[in-house]
């Protein structure tokens, strides 16, 4: 390419302003997501380009542009976060956005810069799909459309404000059209592909195993775990156990899921009238379990219900997900047949110390084991009495327990978090001959006064036990509440105070200020939740739900496509018609339009224009009949006269004259003008 | 955008393609799309049937980009990403309507065209009537391949205005403007709306004046042998007054006499009659046709400048001896249209 071509036409100032604004707003939010050297390099490129456009100068030679690009690519290759995934792609995109400034002489390059900015906005939405990001998106689209307008405005007569104005007029109908398409565009369940680095990174929640301290780690986070909407009344706080996964196999230290509970529940799940229906919006946690009020009896679409009454999604939850589920909050139920392999697994005892075994045997003796018929409930009662009687402490920072944590916890430390209690209780039950298992999930949920839903935080993470009783099946037993009954009412963080925790915004207990802060937080969360429900969580399921509620049951791929085509077609046809009609109105010259408005106002004064009257005659008649209006009328009629009948004016003078005319017409308000002395 | 069915049968005539195939090929063949329609007699109004819209290269690129954004948003189940994609797509579609409207309703009529000499640029004036508001970045250009570079886009003010289209006039004769393209990419540059039309505009191209060359011998009655140099107006002895011929130099008008007689009269000098110049095709043997015409053109211009009566004689054409603009024009036109 010759230097002349590389030094193409200069960027018009208006297009330059908007193009640079587009570039800066698109890159801005990513500045904290990429390494510092890239930010500095890109900022330098921006400064160089601004200087070049303002002061003039030479473009970089082609070989240097090429060299810098190679250098940048090398830098990205070396410093990109591993494994290569979303972050690396963003880094590359960000750098490209900076390097694109190096060549901006061709019209094509400028348009490409706008396109690149749009891609960067999309990347921002992938990272941060918040209402703020949506506002950022709207602003960037407006500014970038203005940049495109100014770029295609060959003469540069519009100016950047005019460019934004045209962009606004384009966006005004584009936004509702986009919303229609958004609602009707057929969604697919699940995703098309995934990058390995995207899954389960930076996500908090339960892992497949539980060992002393693992729940404590989760409970230290005050991130949102999920939100649950209830149709009708909320469950009482004592029933807000959210079932996640069942842990059955243990070696005495670690607890894992084991095989049998994962099998799918045979037969259709029981549904009863008093089942509580609720809808959960689950934050991504990278695992397959879905949480539901204990105990779920129906599986949402894309998930199944296991024999352990767990909900298992078909794929790991790496995006926020909404699902409807029905639960029986009584707690008991599930598999009730004796002698199943599941029960055998729930009796498998790890290596335990003699002290533990002795304690359990003691309870079993008392509960009638020698007679051959063990009263499970009696054993449970004794165990809970034991926890209450002995000086057990519920704490978030338990002491280290060594190689036999159950023994150490029960007889020495006697301080622990819920997983210690649940694990020890379950082992004791098994040693006594009562089938038992650990359930991990959440306990609690704060009611949002605005949204009518429960907010469950990671800090609500909890573990409890389930024992199998012959008459009732699996029954929930929470040994923690035997020690700390207040745990039901409050999440662990608020219960224990801020003393032992990392920095945290501790709320003062009472008072108007605290109430205000709490209300603001609730309002913010409610806004976010509504956002999640209607914008982010508007997926395959929700779309079908909405369509069904609107009475459209054929919400299939085909049906939706037809509806989309029809709605879009009608919308565009209407828009084209409106444009054509406005075009017909625009057939009138602007001065004629202004003149007509003036005449309408004149009608109200009692001195209407007569059909045959030209502007000059009219002016002299007004001067005779309404001397008070004469000046104001002349201010209108003179520019009109010039515009309409003078030989052709140069474009600038014409615009000036038009502005004068319009201003005078606006100022012509006969009603507000003082009448002259009155009739003579 | 519909195409007109005019000229269709003419095109189909003499084409042995069987009926069904012909019907299929018809829209392609008549592609008013590319060739435009036949010349219109009067003003051309741009309406739905004359304006075509297609995406530009940037538009196609955006299409591919939006597809990628759509796939990405669907895959990452990102509702906002979908919204962005749809918003940009809607923006592009709405901009197409505006691009179309930027041309729609415009009326174009042929204006005046002045003759030029070969080697100059022919200027074709086109009158525009814009009944709406300002139309931005509308470009007009001749569609012909040698019709100059990409038309420069300009803003069309409301009301009447005129534009001039330039085409290089390489050869003498009549240069037709041919099909004209009016196009715009405003407001987003993603779509191009255009219309091809033809106005009855032609430009007369005189031969290129040859290099200066001595005049042929004047063939007047009493000044034989004089190779006169160009001289000023009104030299010689005053001989009387005669009627002014349109095209004669205004300097010869006898204003006082004209005022009395109520019509234009010009002064008449004796010397002129004697110094008649005869420019003749036959005086230039041994030259090619175009060289002869070029030299005659040069002589005619100089003779006109000399204010002496002069005459031009071509095979099958003779004018003069006479003077004035009208005479010059008549002779130059003859030179331009001469066919040996």
Given pLDDT bands bounded at 50, 70 and 90, which one contains residue B224?
A: very low
Enumerate residues 6+ apart whose C-beta is below 8 A from A572: A177, B93, B97
Please determine, for residue B47, whether its predicted confidence score (pLDDT) is greater than 80: no
The region of weakest confidence among A649-653, B174-178, B323-327 is A649-653
Quick one: pLDDT at residue A9?
66
What are A527's two structure tokens?
Answer: 């806004």
Please determine, for residue B190, whether its predicted confidence score (pLDDT) is greater than 90: yes
Q: How many Cα neighbours within 13 Å face the side chain of A523? A: 6
Site from A19, A22, A111, A316 to mutate, B interface, most B CB atoms within 10 angstroms: A111
User: Chain B closest CA to A42's CA: distance in Å?
Assistant: 23
Please determine, for residue B275, whether its predicted confidence score (pLDDT) is greater than 70: no
Enumerate residues 6+ apart whose C-beta is below 8 A from A533: A229, A281, A322, A542
**Cβ–Cβ of B153/A155 closer than 8 Å?**
yes
Enumerate residues 6+ apart whose C-beta is below 8 A from B11: B29, B30
ipTM of the predicted structure? 0.72
- CB-based burial, A407-437: b 16+ in 10 Å, e otherwise: bbbbeebbbbbbbbbbbbbbbbbbbbbbbbb
Which helix H or strand E contains B334, and what residues bound it?
helix B325-337
Enumerate residues 6+ apart whose C-beta is below 8 A from B131: A586, A587, A588, A589, B105, B107, B158
Measured CA to CA, the distance from residue B182 to residue B193 in angstroms comes to 8
Please determine, for residue B9, whether its predicted confidence score (pLDDT) is greater than 70: no
Given pLDDT bands bounded at 50, 70 and 90, which one contains residue A192?
A: low
What are A80's two structure tokens?
Answer: 């990109």
The mean pLDDT of B324-340, rounded to a whole number, is 87
Indicate the residue of B87, B133, B154 with minimum beta-carbon distance to A590.
B133
The region of weakest confidence among A20-34, A422-436, B6-20 is B6-20
**Cβ–Cβ of A583/B132 closer than 8 Å?**
yes
Is A478 tagged catalytic?
yes
Contacts of A129 in chain B (CB under 8 A): 78-81
Quick one: pLDDT at residue A522?
76
Q: Name the pTM for this structure.
A: 0.64
User: Chain A closest CA to B197's CA: distance in Å?
Assistant: 22
**Cβ–Cβ of B188/A121 closer than 8 Å?**
no
Which helix H or strand E contains A302, and what residues bound it?
none
Give tens-digit pLDDT for A328-355.
876 555 555 555 677 778 888 888 888 8
Contacts of A173 in chain B (CB under 8 A): 90, 94
The mean pLDDT of B95-107, rounded to a whole number, is 89
**Cβ–Cβ of A583/B136 closer than 8 Å?**
no
Measured CA to CA, the distance from residue B21 to residue A442 in angstroms comes to 72
**Cβ–Cβ of A175/B87 closer than 8 Å?**
yes
Radius of gyration of chain A from its Cα atoms, rounded to whole angstroms = 36
The nearest alpha carbon in chain A to B139 belongs to: A154
User: Chain A closest CA to B238's CA: distance in Å?
Assistant: 44
Give tens-digit pLDDT for A439-475.
999 988 887 766 678 888 888 888 999 988 877 788 8
Closest CA to A386 of A482, A466, A469: A482
Contacts of B133 in chain A (CB under 8 A): 586, 590
Relative to beta strand B202-206, strand B116-117 is parallel
What are B160's two structure tokens?
Answer: 């009447």
Quick one: pLDDT at residue B251?
67
Catalytic residue among A30, A418, A525, A539: A418
Radius of gyration of chain B from its Cα atoms, rounded to whole angstroms = 30
Closest CA to A114 of A147, A87, A88, A75: A147
Site from A93, A154, A573 to mutate, B interface, most B CB atoms within 10 angstroms: A154
Contacts of A583 in chain B (CB under 8 A): 101, 104-105, 132
Measured CA to CA, the distance from residue B88 to residue B95 in angstroms comes to 10
Given pLDDT bands bounded at 50, 70 and 90, which one contains residue B310?
A: confident
How many CB atoms are closer than 10 A to CB B107?
16
Q: Please report where in the chains the tokens 């509504």 appear, as a residue.
A: A530
A370: helix, strand or coil: coil
Quick one: pLDDT at residue A17?
92
Please determine, for residue B230, whether its predicted confidence score (pLDDT) is greater than 70: no
Enumerate residues 6+ apart whose C-beta is below 8 A from B273: B220, B221, B309
pLDDT greater at residue A342 or residue A161: A161
Please determine, for residue A21, whether its predicted confidence score (pLDDT) is greater than 90: yes
Contacts of A177 in chain B (CB under 8 A): 86, 90, 93-94
Please determine, for residue B55, whether its predicted confidence score (pLDDT) is greater than 90: yes
Is A136 tagged catalytic?
no
Contacts of A191 in chain B (CB under 8 A): 74-77
Please determine, for residue B96, whether its predicted confidence score (pLDDT) is greater than 90: yes
The angle, 0 to 180 degrees and rounded to 10, between the axes of the packed helices A557-585 and A159-184 is: 150
A652: helix, strand or coil: helix
- In which order are the strands placed within the sheet that holds A311-313? A289-290, A311-313, A303-305
Catalytic residue among A229, A249, A460, A478: A478
Question: What sign has the CA pseudo-torsion A663, A666, A671, A672?
Answer: negative
Measured CA to CA, the distance from residue A487 to residue A496 in angstroms comes to 10
DSSP B71: H
Given pLDDT bands bounded at 50, 70 and 90, which one contains residue B8?
A: very low
Given pLDDT bands bounded at 50, 70 and 90, which one contains residue A587?
A: very low
Let me know how long chain A is.
680
Quick one: pLDDT at residue A337?
54
Is A150 tagged catalytic?
no
Contacts of B90 in chain A (CB under 8 A): 173-175, 177-178, 181
The nearest alpha carbon in chain A to B76 belongs to: A191
Contacts of B97 in chain A (CB under 8 A): 572, 575-576, 579
Pick the most confident of A54-68, B58-72, B252-266.
Answer: B58-72
Closest CA to B134 of A150, A645, A153, A598: A153
**Cβ–Cβ of B90/A175 closer than 8 Å?**
yes
Greatest pairwise CA separation for chain A in angstroms? 126
Q: How many Cα neighbours within 13 Å face the side chain of A329? A: 17
End-to-end CA separation in angstroms for chain A: 83
The nearest alpha carbon in chain A to B161 belongs to: A648
Contact call for residues B296 and B216 (beta carbons, < 8 A): no
Given pLDDT bands bounded at 50, 70 and 90, which one contains residue A509?
A: low
**Cβ–Cβ of A129/B91 closer than 8 Å?**
no
Got the DSSP string for A534-603?
IIIT--HHHHHHHHHHTT----SHHHHHHHHHHHHHHHHHHHHHHHHHHHHHTTS-HHHHHHHHHHHHHH
Relative to beta strand B310-314, strand B277-280 is parallel
Pick the most confident of A55-64, A512-521, B256-265.
Answer: A55-64
User: Chain A closest CA to B135's CA: distance in Å?
Assistant: 10
Which helix H or strand E contains A235, and what residues bound it?
none
Contact call for residues B184 and B53 (beta carbons, < 8 A): no
DSSP A631: H
The mean pLDDT of A410-425, rounded to a whole number, is 87
Measured CA to CA, the distance from residue A639 to residue A656 in angstroms comes to 10
User: Chain A closest CA to B289's CA: distance in Å?
Assistant: 42
Greatest pairwise CA separation for chain B in angstroms? 104
Quick one: pLDDT at residue A139?
95
């Amino acid at each position: 390419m010759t230097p002349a071509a590389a030094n193409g036409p200069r960027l018009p100032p208006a297009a330059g302003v908007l193009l640079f604004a587009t570039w800066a707003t698109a890159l801005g939010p990513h500045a904290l997501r990429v390494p510092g050297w890239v930010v500095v390099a890109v900022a330098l490129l921006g400064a160089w380009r601004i200087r070049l456009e303002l002061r003039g100068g030479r473009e970089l030679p082609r070989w240097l542009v090429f060299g810098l690009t190679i250098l940048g690519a090398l830098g990205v290759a070396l410093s990109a976060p591993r494994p290569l995934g979303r972050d690396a792609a963003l880094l590359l995109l960000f750098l490209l956005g900076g390097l694109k400034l190096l060549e901006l002489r061709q019209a094509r390059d400028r348009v490409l810069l706008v396109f690149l900015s749009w891609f960067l906005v999309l990347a921002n939405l992938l990272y941060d799909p918040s209402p703020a990001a949506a506002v950022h998106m709207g602003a960037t689209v407006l500014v970038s459309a203005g940049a495109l307008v100014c770029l295609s405005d060959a003469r540069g007569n519009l100016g950047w404000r005019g460019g934004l104005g045209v962009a606004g007029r384009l966006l005004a109908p584009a936004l509702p059209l986009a919303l229609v398409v958004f609602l009707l565009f057929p969604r697919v369940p699940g995703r098309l592909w995934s990058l390995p680095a995207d899954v389960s990174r930076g996500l908090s929640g339960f892992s497949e195993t539980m060992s002393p301290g693992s729940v404590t780690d989760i409970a230290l986070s005050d991130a949102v775990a999920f939100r649950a909407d209830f149709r009708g009344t909320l469950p009482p706080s004592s029933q807000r156990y959210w079932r996640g996964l069942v842990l059955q196999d243990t070696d005495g230290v670690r607890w894992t899921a084991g095989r049998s509970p994962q099998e799918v529940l045979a037969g259709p799940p029981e549904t009863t009238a008093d089942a509580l229906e609720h809808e959960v919006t689950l934050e991504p946690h990278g695992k397959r379990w879905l949480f539901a009020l204990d105990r779920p009896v129906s599986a949402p679409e894309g998930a199944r219900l296991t024999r352990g009454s767990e909900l298992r999604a078909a794929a790991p939850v790496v995006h926020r997900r909404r699902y409807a589920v029905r639960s029986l909050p009584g707690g008991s139920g599930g598999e009730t047949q004796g002698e199943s392999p599941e029960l055998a697994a729930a009796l498998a005892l790890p290596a335990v110390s003699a002290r533990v075994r002795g304690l359990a045997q003691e309870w079993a003796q008392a509960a009638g084991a020698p007679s051959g018929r063990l009263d499970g409930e009696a054993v449970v009662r004794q165990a809970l009495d034991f926890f209450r009687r002995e000086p057990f402490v519920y704490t978030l920072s338990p002491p280290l327990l060594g190689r036999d944590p159950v023994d150490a916890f029960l007889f020495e430390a006697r301080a622990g978090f819920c997983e210690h209690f649940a694990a020890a209780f379950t082992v004791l039950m098994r040693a006594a001959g009562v089938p038992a298992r650990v359930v991990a999930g959440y306990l609690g949920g704060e009611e949002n006064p605005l949204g009518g839903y429960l907010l469950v935080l990671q800090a609500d993470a909890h573990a409890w036990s389930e024992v199998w009783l012959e008459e009732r099946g699996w029954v929930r037993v929470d040994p923690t509440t035997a020690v700390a009954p207040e745990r039901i009412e409050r999440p662990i963080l608020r219960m224990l105070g801020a003393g032992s925790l990392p920095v945290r915004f501790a709320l003062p207990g009472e008072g108007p200020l605290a109430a205000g802060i709490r209300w603001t937080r609730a309002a913010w969360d409610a806004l976010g939740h509504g956002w999640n429900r209607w914008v982010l969580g508007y997926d395959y399921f929700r779309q079908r739900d909405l369509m069904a509620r609107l009475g459209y049951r054929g919400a299939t791929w085909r049906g939706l496509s037809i509806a989309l085509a029809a709605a879009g077609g009608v919308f565009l046809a209407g828009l084209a018609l409106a444009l054509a009609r406005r075009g017909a109105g625009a057939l009138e010259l602007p001065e004629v339009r202004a003149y007509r408005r003036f005449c309408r106002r004149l009608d109200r004064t009692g001195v209407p224009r007569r059909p045959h009257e030209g502007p000059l005659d009219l002016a002299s008649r007004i001067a005779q009949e309404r001397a008070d209006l004469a000046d104001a009328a002349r201010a209108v009629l003179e520019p009109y006269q010039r515009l309409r009948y003078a030989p052709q004016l140069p474009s600038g003078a014409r615009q000036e004259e038009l502005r004068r005319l319009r201003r005078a017409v606006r100022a012509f308000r006969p009603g507000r003008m003082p009448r002259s002395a009155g009739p003579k | 955008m519909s195409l007109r069915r005019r000229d269709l049968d003419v095109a189909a005539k003499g084409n042995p393609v069987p009926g069904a195939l012909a019907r299929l090929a018809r829209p392609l063949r008549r592609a008013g799309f590319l060739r435009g329609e036949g010349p219109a007699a009067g003003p051309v109004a741009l309406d739905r049937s004359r304006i075509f819209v297609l995406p530009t290269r940037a538009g196609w690129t955006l299409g591919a980009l939006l597809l990628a954004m759509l796939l990405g948003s669907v895959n990452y189940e990102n509702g906002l990403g979908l919204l962005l994609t749809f918003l940009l797509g809607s923006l592009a579609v709405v901009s197409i309507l505006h691009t179309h409207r930027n041309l729609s309703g415009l009326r174009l009529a042929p204006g005046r065209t002045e003759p030029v000499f070969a080697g100059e640029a022919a200027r074709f004036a086109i009158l525009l009537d814009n009944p709406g508001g300002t139309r931005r970045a509308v470009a007009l250009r001749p569609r012909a391949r040698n019709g100059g570079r990409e038309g420069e886009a300009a803003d069309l003010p409301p009301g009447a205005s005129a534009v001039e289209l330039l085409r290089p006039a390489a050869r003498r004769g009549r240069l037709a403007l041919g099909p004209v393209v009016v196009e715009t990419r405003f407001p987003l540059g993603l779509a191009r709306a255009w219309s091809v039309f033809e106005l009855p505009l032609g430009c007369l191209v005189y031969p290129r004046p040859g290099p200066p060359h001595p005049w042929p011998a004047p063939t007047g009655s009493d000044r034989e042998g004089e190779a006169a140099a160009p001289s000023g107006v009104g030299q010689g002895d005053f001989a009387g007054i005669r009627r002014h011929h349109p095209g004669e130099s205004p300097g010869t008008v006898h204003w006082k006499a004209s005022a009395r007689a109520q019509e234009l009269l010009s002064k008449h000098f004796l010397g002129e009659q004697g110094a008649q110049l005869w420019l003749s095709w036959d005086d230039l043997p041994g030259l090619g046709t175009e060289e002869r015409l070029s030299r005659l053109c040069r002589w005619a211009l100089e003779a006109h400048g000399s204010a002496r009566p002069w005459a031009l004689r071509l095979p099958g054409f003779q004018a003069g001896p006479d003077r004035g603009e009208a005479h010059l024009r008549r002779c130059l036109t003859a030179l331009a249209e001469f066919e040996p």
